[in-house]
């Protein structure tokens, strides 16, 4: 069975969850309904830190989405190129790009965008801070820096890639795409969540930390734990007393057997001594009779 609040696997028949303290009901719902209810409760129980972690993961995924579109309407042809966050962090798609070669500084397309690199690093850093159980405020500040990097990426894109020259500025346009906007909004959302989070830092499996259980459930779980411990102690005491009684019985039985053996040996010794004494008396008496007979015979002969 699984805990109805946090989803942790429990032994069958458990009354309380040892992790979150939630009471488990005896009524079993259909499997599909139980699974759906457990998922809903698990989502509802996510803490602010967990929501922040999820937000940072989504921010990292946004780097796979379109960040910037560069369009050219000059020279009698229409060109348009879209770049995602990872392409801006590297030289993929920009080094040999026909569109970006239209500007004065043709080498500027081969360099990675430091602001995209900075934003990605801030997302990873904030996620590590939260995962290691550090203060949420630190992660909020790092997220704010990430949002700032994305703002600078958007604001400085044209001069950074040499698209601000007066000869090409009129026919080259740069527009921000939804990936950049989503990433910036997620950074700001994570920042707000982290700054208002006053809870104790949590540790555990990434992105699935839950709120602490309510005091009543925790107290009930503690009482159940104490009862179980007391029951185990009583059983152990009974076993120890039974072993002690058995040991006393065995010792007493051995003592009785030893006393019986000693008494039997004493009786045998007395019998042997008495028999020897009787034999000695008989021998002495026989010798005395023989001596008397000899003396009488001598007197008769004389």
Neighbouring-strand partners of residue 156: none
pTM of this prediction?
0.52
Find where tokens 């499996």 sit. 205
End-to-end CA distance of the chain: 124
Q: How confident is the model at residue 146 (pLDDT cuts 50, 70, 90)?
A: very high
* pLDDT at residue 124, rounded to an integer: 95
pLDDT above 80 for 93: no
Give residue limits of the domains in the chain.
Answer: 49-201, 234-302
Q: How far apart are CA 260 and CA 254, in angstroms?
A: 10
Span 49-201: which CATH code?
1.20.140
Backbone angles phi, psi at 24, to 5 degrees: -100, 130
Instruction: Give 155-187 pLDDT, tens digit per residue.
Output: 998 888 777 777 777 778 889 999 999 999 999
Q: Which of 106-120, 124-138, 181-195 has the lowest mean pLDDT?
A: 106-120
Are residues 194 and 52 in contact, defined by beta-carbon separation less than 8 angstroms?
Answer: yes
Q: How far apart are CA 25 and CA 98, in angstroms?
A: 66
Q: What percent of the chain has pLDDT over 70?
A: 75
Give the total residue count for the chain: 302
Q: How far apart are CA 228 and CA 181, in angstroms?
A: 55
Are residues 20 and 213 in contact, defined by beta-carbon separation less than 8 angstroms?
Answer: yes
pLDDT above 70 for 49: yes
Are residues 53 and 131 in contact, defined by beta-carbon separation less than 8 angstroms?
Answer: yes
**Residue 18 token pair:** 């040892």
**Residue 148 token pair:** 């700032």
Q: How far apart are CA 90 and CA 112, in angstroms?
A: 5
Mean pLDDT of 134-149: 90
Q: How confident is the model at residue 206 (pLDDT cuts 50, 70, 90)?
A: very low
Instruction: Give 222-233 pLDDT, tens digit per residue.
Output: 777 777 787 888
Q: How far is CA 90 from CA 9, 61, 95, in A?
A: 44, 16, 10
* pLDDT at residue 148, rounded to an integer: 95
Q: How far apart are CA 27 and CA 112, in angstroms?
A: 59
Q: Which residue has the higher pLDDT, 154 or 32?
A: 154
Per-position DSSP letters for 8-46, written without gaps between them: -B--TT-SB-TTT-PBPPSPPPPHHHHHHHHHHHHHHTB
* pLDDT at residue 92, rounded to an integer: 52
Are residues 47 and 210 in contact, defined by beta-carbon separation less than 8 angstroms?
Answer: yes
pLDDT above 90 for 150: yes
Burial of 200 (0-12, 13-18, 19+ CB in 10 A): exposed
**Residue 260 token pair:** 């019986």
């Amino acid at each position: 069975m699984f805990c109805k609040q946090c989803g942790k696997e429990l032994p069958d028949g458990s009354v309380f969850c040892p992790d979150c303290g939630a009471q488990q009901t005896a009524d079993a719902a259909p499997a599909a309904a139980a699974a759906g209810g457990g998922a809903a409760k698990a989502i509802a129980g996510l803490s602010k830190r967990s929501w922040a972690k999820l937000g940072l993961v989504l921010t990292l995924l946004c780097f796979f989405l379109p960040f910037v579109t560069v369009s050219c309407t000059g020279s009698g042809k229409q060109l348009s190129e879209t770049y995602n966050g990872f392409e801006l962090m590297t030289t993929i798609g920009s080094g040999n790009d026909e569109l970006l070669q239209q500007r004065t500084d043709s080498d500027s397309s081969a360099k990675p965008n430091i602001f995209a690199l900075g934003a990605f690093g801030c997302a990873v850093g904030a996620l590590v801070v939260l995962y290691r159980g550090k203060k949420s405020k630190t992660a909020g500040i790092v997220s704010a820096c990430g949002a700032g990097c994305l703002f600078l990426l958007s604001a400085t894109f044209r001069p950074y890639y040499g698209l601000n020259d007066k000869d090409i500025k009129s026919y080259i346009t740069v527009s921000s795409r939804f990936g950049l906007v989503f990433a910036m909004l997620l950074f700001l959302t994570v920042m707000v969540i982290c700054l208002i989070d006053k809870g104790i830092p949590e540790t555990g499996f990434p992105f699935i930390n839950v709120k602490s259980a309510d005091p009543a459930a925790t107290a009930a779980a503690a009482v159940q734990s104490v009862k179980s411990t007391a029951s185990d102690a009583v059983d152990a005491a009974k076993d120890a007393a039974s072993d002690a009684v058995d040991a006393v019985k065995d010792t007493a039985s051995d003592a009785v057997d030893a006393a019986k053996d000693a008494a039997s040996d004493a009786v045998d010794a007395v019998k042997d001594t008495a028999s020897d004494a009787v034999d000695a008396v008989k021998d002495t008496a026989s010798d005395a009779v023989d001596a008397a007979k000899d003396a009488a015979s001598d007197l008769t002969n004389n």
